[in-house]
Structure 1
């Protein structure tokens, strides 16, 4: 699928709008650290499980429901990129790769399988990764906002869906730069709120639009912005990266698009959203906006209806941004 220019509109499948009844509710590692009980512990909040290590740093849960959703979300990324794991050039014989915010470790697992000669490290705040992994993959429980203390330099630093995870993105990119080999790449793959519709079918009166903007407001108060993806390119360049490339895809919210591939991505995105809506909302809304759990659940009823409404031609802006650390003798 070619990347979507922000000015290019996705063609609407008008027949899909006539068949909304077809969508019911049913459509919807080895740990390399010495893990203390505090790192392995979990914390329950509003019926969902959250990480206890550096509690509150990440506003979304890490329970089995969310982990299954993250694995499904990986399939959407693969479909969008035609099976590729990243867009940046991968040199032959790549040696060391860091996957920051690895989550369930599914991206790192695939990369390790594709590049058996490379050593992959996946880091995350939560110990939710599998224990049976390829010999060239290891997982660390680590805080990406702390000082990085790796002994090796990397050829690639990868991060996916890190929006809402960090406070100081400039420091993050400085650490990426300092921990890369000359000629190495950093690549970020991220959503960027608010949700959009090019034809105005999503209006401020819709619950989905309100949800999108309330998420922005809540995470801004938590100092974990959800629109940081639009600044990835600038921040990479300011950190010293060159040849920075920004590619923006449009992921339809459901199957409203006419294009077959976009329709498929839309179906996956809808399922992903319906299964993850509570997880994405409870932490930010209760912590950032002071809502009660009951208020959140009541509000999400209308949001779910909008998610499934194919008359709303909504899409998620998906940013893929990568940059290269200059060679030591390269003139800039």
Structure 2
């Protein structure tokens, strides 16, 4: 991965402001007798308020500057003193054929089902509740990006598209419907996509951490909500680079854990702090970081991408912001989290941290209360990062 990369000179599309990423599961009340580890009360980490909300950040060449040590994020969010409702919505309501039988024989654990292919790699379930959450998360992204599929120039006009970790396939299906001339491939570990799809959309069940076998190059590759999915992001980005045609684009859309807070309203003794911090630590322990999204622009430049752009975002945990767009994003983020907390935590906490199912459910219940408290002004940082493969580019060989 050598050679000086070009600094992005084209301005990024006007970007909105935020969206969530991981979580999912049932909401049955856990036993109340189980205790959860506590921490001393002090202010939780705060984000860097030095940049405006969702301002595009043109990535610098690695020759010209050192990689950022701290995330580059938008400025503080102003809380809404008038309440958290929006347009009458209540913010407190809980609201493929011929596959091998072994792939369909899902792993069952703690009352949830998980993928069987490459068993254990992915910590989130694949059952109906998780699928509903994934579709809500897709809506969060559409609200955040002003109903754009992506922020790079391939928002329209792509010829051959790859959607990594397609989940329910909702993004791939919508893109295929919008652009009938595009060939869209969605790939995932779980066969949870619909059987009836547009003729220009297909779904494949595969492990994208292994060597990719597509022989025809793509002109657009999307990686959305893939934190925690790769143990080696450098290799994943390099594979994407190698499978793009010259001039093709890759875009990463993701959040970054743990949750942060600008005004001290989230403290270290709160469940939401423990839930997101310990979740991030557990992922780090198994080598699948969810805390370094802000570094992916550097990895893209090192892989050979040019015109790399990084757009910082914010994803409020609930509709607490005063800004209308952020309030709507927070509303839908909350809608995905309220029934979705257990899905993320159960496998992560019981497999890695040694917690019992009951201890995990208690923490989830406590976190659910925090998510419904408008006085807690927490949010996740997020990023859209995209770059182009040079028109004259050599294939990068894996080290």
Say yes or no: TM over 0.5.
yes
Counterpart secondary structure, 2:338: helix
CA-atom RMSD in angstroms: 2.0
Partner of 1:286: 350
Which residue of 93, 113, 134 corresponds with 2:198? 134
Number of equivalenced pairs: 325
Q: Does 2:280 match 1:266?
A: no
Match of 1:14 in 2: 81
Q: 1:183 to 1:282 in 2, by over 3 A?
A: same
> How far does the alpha carbon of each residue in 1:67-100 deviate from its partner, in whole angstroms, 9 at most, with x for none?
0110111111101111001001128642110001
Q: Deviations over 1:119-145 (max 9, x none)?
A: 000000000000110000000001010
Residue in 2 aligned with 1:160?
Answer: 224
Equivalent residue of 1:74, what SS? Answer: helix
SS of the equivalent of 2:312 reads: strand
Unaligned runs of 5+ in 1: none
Q: Which moved more, 1:118-127 or 1:253-262?
A: 253-262
In the TM superposition, residue 255 of structure 1 has moved relative to its aligned partner by 1.2
Q: CA–CA distance in 2 between the matches of 1:241 and 1:329?
A: 9
SS in 2 for 1:297: helix
- Bigger relative contact order (CA 8 A; separation at least 6): 2
1:1-332 matched pairs, under 5 angstroms: 2-3=16-17, 4=53, 6-16=73-83, 26-28=93-95, 35-90=99-154, 93-328=157-392
The question of whether the paired residues in 1 share the 8 Å contact of 2:247 and 2:390 is answered with yes
Per the normalisation by structure 1, the TM-score is 0.93
In 2, are the aligned partners of 1:174 and 1:239 still within 8 Å (CA)? yes
Query: Matched residue of 2:258: which SS?
Result: coil
Deviation at 1:205, TM superposition (A): 1.6
Partner secondary structure for residue 315 of structure 2: strand
TM-score (normalised: structure 2): 0.78
Asked whether the equivalents of residues 149 and 155 of structure 2 are also in contact (C-alpha less than 8 Å), the reply is no
CA distance, structure 2, for counterparts of residue 184 and residue 233 of structure 1: 16
Equivalents in 1 of 2:385, 2:170: separation in Å?
20
In 1, the alpha carbon distance for the partners of 2:84 and 2:384 equals: 30
Partner-residue secondary structure (3-state), 1:194: strand
Work out whether residues 17 and 311 of structure 1, in 8 Å CA contact, stay in contact via their aligned partners in 2: no
**2:16 and 2:146 in contact (8 A); partners too:** no
Cα distance change of structure 1 residues 91 and 161 upon mapping to structure 2, 3 Å threshold:
closer
CA distance in 1, matches of 2:312, 2:155: 23
Residue deviations 1:32-84 (CA, integer Å, cap 9, x gap) = xx621112221100000001111001011000000011011111110111100
Go from structure 1 to structure 2 and tell me whether the alpha carbon gap of 1:282 and 1:244 turns closer, same or farther (over 3 Å shift): same
TM-fit CA distance, 1:220: 1.1
For 1:329 and 1:43, locate their aligned partners in 2 and report how far apart those are by CA, in whole Å.
Answer: 42
